[in-house]
Structure 1
Amino acid sequence: MTRDVWIEVALNGPWGRERQPLAPLGVAEIVAEGIACARAGAAIVHAHAFDEATGRQRDDWETYARIIEGIRSKVDAIVYPTIPIAGSGYAGELRGAAERYAHLSELARRGLVEWAVVDPGSVNFTRLDAARGEPGFVYLNPEDHVAEGLRICEAHGVRPSYAVYELGFTRLGALMAARHPRLPTPVYRFMFSDEFAWGAPPRPAFLDAHLALLAEAAKGAPWMVAGLGVDVTPLIEPATARGGHVRVGLEDAPWGTTRANVAWVEHAAREVSRAGGRPAEARRIRETAGALDAR
């Protein structure tokens, strides 16, 4: 039986066109690419909002509302925003938990979001190519920030999407989710990279390590393969065979890629079909995830 595989597209990322010249930045661009990617098979759309004058990330709920409503006015898709990448030069100084999640809280209160970024742990962002001499940074997710994100998700029925940069993120994410009995089941997004020194490169053996821990910490939870500065194509077939899902797009792709978002989605959809799956519709994702919540 052909199984549904969720395909998510991450349209841009915090670095905007600094690392990805093809990334959409303006609201109209983001909406147009989100619609096109949904029609190509990505039922989940993730985006960063930007100040169009400066090209820097700007996380205000009004801009995200325009993006979400613009995409969903044309296609049925799960569209969700990011959070400031605290500790980096892309988001300024570390903010308090409530301020960092203020846009999500307002979007959730208005019923505009179904999923949310809640990253359960901090991690060093150091590039593998040390010869470049670029200083890294620590992506900061203190426990009170994680708790605030989960509080909002539980209060409004929003599904957390966990970026699992290291194996321990799965353990912490499961532990903190257990404190919120009405929380929708989180999605565990295993992060791979060829650009950064965290995590692991996209090889099936490392995927299996993630899955072994997930089976102990959060058995049956939905998961997907993703990353930053990486082509996850080598993991699409094993992920499909093992019951997982896939994220692609210009946030995640190797820096400077000449393949645009729609082409990444089309490529992922072909690989999913070749592996015996089919791109899931948003309706089916909601039904499947909802069944997990009811267990």
Structure 2
Amino acid sequence: MHNNHEVWLEVALNGAAGRAYQPLIPISASEIISQGIDCAHAGASVIHLHVYDDAGQPSENVDQYRRVIEGIKEKVDIIVYPTIALTGTAEQRYSPIEALAKYGLLDWGVVDPGSVNITHRSQIESGEEGLLYNNPDSHIQHGLKLAERDNWRPAYAIYEPGFLRSGAAFAQTVRLADPPVYRLMFSDNLLFGCKPTIHALDFYAQVIADELGNDADWMISGLDAHIQHLIAPALAMGAHIRVGLEDAPFGTLETNVQLVEGAANLIEQSGYSIVAPEPYYNGDRGPKVCERDR
């Protein structure tokens, strides 16, 4: 049990599904910047975001990322990190990450340690093809080598239990500024991993203890999922928390700010304090090497 740990509260502002699935997500740069700032004031200590082009389609445009990240950081001192492209070569997928690191705008970055079918229950019922989220070993290694070189912290999405094991093994092949953040993914209607139940949370917590030890940084999140009922027990197990419209059930009528405020209240009512994780990228200092990676 971790009754006194300080909690990171991450907000995932939008995702790539678009407004057809999540009508209230911010899409324009000004919307993303405004909601990011408002969420930071509401209690978020980390922001994850995607960017969109002028036609409202998901984009990996570096200038757009730079605009929104700088716009948020200009007003609030907070970690803001982008996604990676779903497809392409390793170099193509991580090209925006490399550019943002050069600009000094990258504290965390996405490295997902495995591949998974992301299929909605309704797609199976209608015969529609789901998404194969493909992360070959070479792509995982490429992302981690960039994290080592450019001094940013990997954020792992754990869709399946095996991602914990492979992610830990891959992390041992590089000298990171600090170990990855392991983010458990639960879903009610997307048929990967586990539904957001106490039994599933207990199972994952035991795997984390067995594979990573008691010092691992991990958090709970969802994708088309309600996870509020898991927040209190997860906190008692040592977890951090992520909420936001990228993760919430499709068609959610709450705003990002309301989701952050609700989670912040639950964290505080459970007797924990929300803190900001230390930024890892800093062009004025050398890379910090974690003792566990020596």
The alignment's TM-score, normalised by the length of structure 2, stands at 0.91
2:273 is the counterpart of 1:273: no
2:97 is the counterpart of 1:100: no
- 1:234-286 per-residue CA deviation (whole Å, 9 max, x = no partner) reads 11001111111100000000000000100000000011112121222x2xx21
| Secondary structure class of the residue paired with 1:4 | coil
Q: Say which of 178, 203, 206 aligns to 2:197.
A: 203
- 1:196-220 per-residue CA deviation (whole Å, 9 max, x = no partner) reads 0101111121112112122222222
Letter of the 1:194 counterpart:
D
Alignment root-mean-square deviation, CA: 1.8
Which residue does the alignment assign to 2:80?
Answer: 79
Q: What is the correspondence of 1:223-242 to structure 2 with a 5 Å cutoff?
A: 223-242=218-237
TM-superposed deviation, 1:5? 1.0
Which residue does the alignment assign to 2:176?
Answer: 182
**d(CA) in 2 for partners of 1:292, 1:36:** 33
**d(CA) in 1 for partners of 2:174, 2:25:** 36
TM-superposed deviation, 1:133? 3.7
Letter of the 2:165 counterpart:
R
Structure with larger RCO (C-alpha < 8 A, sep 6+): 2
Contact 1:118–1:150 under 8 Å retained in 2: yes
TM-superposed deviation, 1:291? 9.8
| Secondary structure class of the residue paired with 2:278 | helix
**d(CA) in 1 for partners of 2:212, 2:221:** 19
Which residue does the alignment assign to 2:284?
Answer: none
Contact 2:175–2:289 under 8 Å retained in 1: no
**d(CA) in 1 for partners of 2:229, 2:128:** 28
Which residue does the alignment assign to 2:283?
Answer: none
Which residue does the alignment assign to 1:109?
Answer: 102
TM-superposed deviation, 1:110? 2.0
| Secondary structure class of the residue paired with 1:189 | strand
Residues 239 and 287 (structure 1), Cα distance of their counterparts in 2 relative to 1, 3 Å cut: farther
Which residue does the alignment assign to 1:62?
Answer: 63
Q: Which runs of 5 or more structure 2 residues have no equivalent in the other structure?
A: 281-286
| Secondary structure class of the residue paired with 2:58 | coil
Contact 1:233–1:268 under 8 Å retained in 2: yes
**Count of residue correspondences:** 282
TM-superposed deviation, 1:30? 0.2
**d(CA) in 1 for partners of 2:69, 2:279:** 20
**d(CA) in 2 for partners of 1:162, 1:182:** 14
Contact 1:150–1:183 under 8 Å retained in 2: no
**d(CA) in 2 for partners of 1:291, 1:146:** 21
TM-superposed deviation, 1:128? 2.1
Q: Say which of 31, 38, 46 aligns to 1:29.
A: 31
Q: Which runs of 4+ in 1 moved over 4 A?
A: none
Contact 2:175–2:290 under 8 Å retained in 1: no
Which residue does the alignment assign to 1:215?
Answer: 209
Q: Say which of 47, 50, 58 aligns to 2:49.
A: 47
The alignment's TM-score, normalised by the length of structure 1, stands at 0.91
Which residue does the alignment assign to 2:138?
Answer: 144
Letter of the 2:150 counterpart:
H
Contact 2:48–2:80 under 8 Å retained in 1: yes
Q: Say which of 106, 113, 138 aligns to 1:120.
A: 113
| Secondary structure class of the residue paired with 2:68 | helix
Contact 1:108–1:152 under 8 Å retained in 2: no
Letter of the 1:84 counterpart:
A
| Secondary structure class of the residue paired with 1:76 | coil
- 1:144-173 per-residue CA deviation (whole Å, 9 max, x = no partner) reads 111111111111110000000000000000
2:145 is the counterpart of 1:155: no
Q: Which runs of 5 or more structure 1 residues have no equivalent in the other structure?
A: 87-94
Contact 1:116–1:159 under 8 Å retained in 2: yes
TM-superposed deviation, 1:287? 7.9
Contact 1:3–1:276 under 8 Å retained in 2: no
**d(CA) in 2 for partners of 1:191, 1:254:** 13
